[in-house]
Structure 1
Amino acid sequence: MIVVSGATGRLGGRVARRLGGSTKLLVRDAKRAPQIEGAQVAVAEYADGKAVEEALRGAETVLMVSAAETPDRVAQHRSFVDAAKAAGVRHLVYTSFAGAAPEATFTLARDHWATEEHIRASGIGFTFLRDNLYADFLPMMVGEDGVIRGPAGDGRAAVVTQDDIADAAIAVLREPARHAGKTYDLTGPEALTLAEVAEIIGGGVRYHAESIEDAYASRERYRAPRWQVDAWVSTYTAIAAGELEAVSGDVAALSGHPATSLRELLSAPDAG
């Protein structure tokens, strides 16, 4: 049995629908679970180890979609991994992030590194899918005034579509033994500056390179907690540092088709 966690989300939902009825969907709210004929539905919060263990019992392979961004996300992930081990899961496919490392510029990439380390230590078989920034979300970075603002300078990011990540994940889930112990960098076919991103989005959108100080100041109006603002700003500084610019062929190698460019994504008939 394959279990897909986060099945109500954009990525988990894509994977669940492609896999079809031979799956169990792990969700927080059963009412929001995708309607997939033959699929089972289990309800559990990542932090609820007992519920997760019960939901995963009997599963051999699990797609572990990273939890929502919260200050205790690593603790939630550790609880999930420990429950998976207790349930007898043989292989975890974890959606990590490009450049995951203890000193990564992007603060949340450090969370992913900590999770990877806990999975390694658990003894469960694993595959890590280190996703670059989601190309699908780039239009959401555009402000009401048509400007993308952030301290990314002239740095580049090899942004990747969620459909491509889903296709890569499915290839691993269907043949986990072939991918045991491997880490894949899932990227688009090219690395783009945010000025190039703005041009591709079109409609007069432009990019303004903020200073780090200005980036923090311009986000004060959201009254978000400091850890969250740090994450927002460090998304851009990671680009500036060159930590998201490497282009990989792993999407094509896993999915069997070329990675989708941002231009192709935005020009698709159902874009948006």
Structure 2
Amino acid sequence: MTDFRNAKLLVTGASGQLGRLAIEELLARGATRIVAGTRYPDNLADLAARGVEIRRLDFADSSTLAGGFAGIERALIISTDAIGARAEQQVAAIDAAEAAGVRHIVYTSAPAASPNPGSAVRNDHFATELRLYRGNTDWTILRNNIYAEIILMGAASALQSGQLFDATSGKGRSYVTRADAARAAAGALLTSTGKLVLDVTGPAPVTQEEIAGLLSRVSGKPVTRIGLAPADLRAGMIAAGLPDAMADVMVSFDVDAAQGCHAVVTDAVAHLSGREPQTIDSFLDANRAALAG
């Protein structure tokens, strides 16, 4: 296996959760020339003290792109949270990376990235992937499944009401923990060559019926899964105070799951990180304290 531990490696979005975890993995695996690109350089003083080079890199500020990618050999481009605007920003970042001579780009995408009028998330990722396909550098596209942490976001209301609402039509998701996705991303940055698309998944698809059962077991509170039509789920989310744009994103995730897009299982995590992905049972057990309240 090719080893790029001594190459100059850039991680964008390094102040974010996935970026920090990826840098920790790179350090643990012996990478010697790590660059952390971030909108908030002052937040990464601890990494600078450990030998990581810190650069201001903001995809929304084109003046930071050339300097951010200068001298970089391999770059992990972590998709931003600017849904609807990020495709243009990420394409500009890829343009800058290619102009700077970056030899390999690792990009964190999403399942079934494709044109879809009902999903800004899929459209953004598709546009970014298309730019990589049309480019002149090598790349690895990591289609990260839905993060297991999203379960915790909805757990409080489910435990309070005793009901878990979804529009997945009973289909499963191969949830992957953010830590496993970060380890896989670091592994791709350290080892991948050529052009490759990988689905990054947990070990097995899990239905919302099963999630409700797991929440009940871990918390000791009864939770029942309630299946809804997408429009009804969206209306309920908005009535509960979720912003319209976020409700649209969450519903689009469920629609994608209902179409089977989230049920794919691969060995990408194990292959790229050397560790098996964490199961949802284990993940919820590890986060029992977060469910206790």
Q: What's 2:175 paired with? A: 159
SS at match of 2:123: helix
Runs of 5+ unmatched residues, structure 2: 1-7
How much does 1:223 deviate? 6.4
Q: Does 1:14 align with 2:21?
A: yes
Q: In the alignment, what sits opposite 2:122? A: 109
**Contact 1:49–1:83 (Cα < 8 Å) also in 2:** no
When structure 1 is superposed on structure 2, of 229-238 and 136-145 the one drifting more is: 136-145
**For residues 176 and 247 of structure 1, do their structure 2 counterparts lie closer, same or farther at Cα, with a shift above 3 Å needed?**
closer
Query: Which amino acid in 1 is paired with 2:227?
Result: A
Give the AA of the match of 1:44: L
1:255 aligns with 2:273: yes
How far does the alpha carbon of each residue in 1:89-137 deviate from its partner, in whole angstroms, 9 at most, with x for none?
1111000111111238654122111100011212121000111100122
Pick from 224, 248, 257 the counterpart of residue 206 of structure 1: 224
- Report the secondary structure of 2:140's partner residue: strand
Report the RMSD for the aligned CA atoms in angstroms: 2.1
Whether the aligned pair in 1 keeps the contact of 2:83 and 2:121 (CA below 8 Å) is no
TM-score, normalised by the number of residues in structure 1: 0.91
How far 1:28 sits from its partner (Å)? Answer: 0.7
The whole-number CA distance in structure 1 between the counterparts of 2:242 and 2:181 is 32
**Other structure's SS at 1:71 match:** coil
Distance 1:150 1:163, change over 3 A: same
- Kindly indicate whether residue 253 of structure 2 is the aligned counterpart of residue 235 of structure 1: yes
CA distance in 2 between counterparts of 1:223 and 1:248 reads 33
Q: Give the TM-score normalised by the residue count of structure 2.
A: 0.85
Structure 2 residue aligned with 1:52 = 65
Structure 1: where are the runs of 5+ without partners? Answer: none
Identity %: 28
Give the counterpart of 1:184 among 198, 208, 215.
198
Separation in 2, partners of 1:146, 1:123: 52
1:65 corresponding residue in structure 2: 78
**Counterpart amino acid of residue 188 in structure 2:** V
Could you say if the C-alpha distance between residues 95 and 152 of structure 1 is closer, same or farther in structure 2, counting changes exceeding 3 Å? same
- Corresponding pairs, count: 269
| Alpha-carbon distance in 1 for matches of 2:289, 2:16 | 18
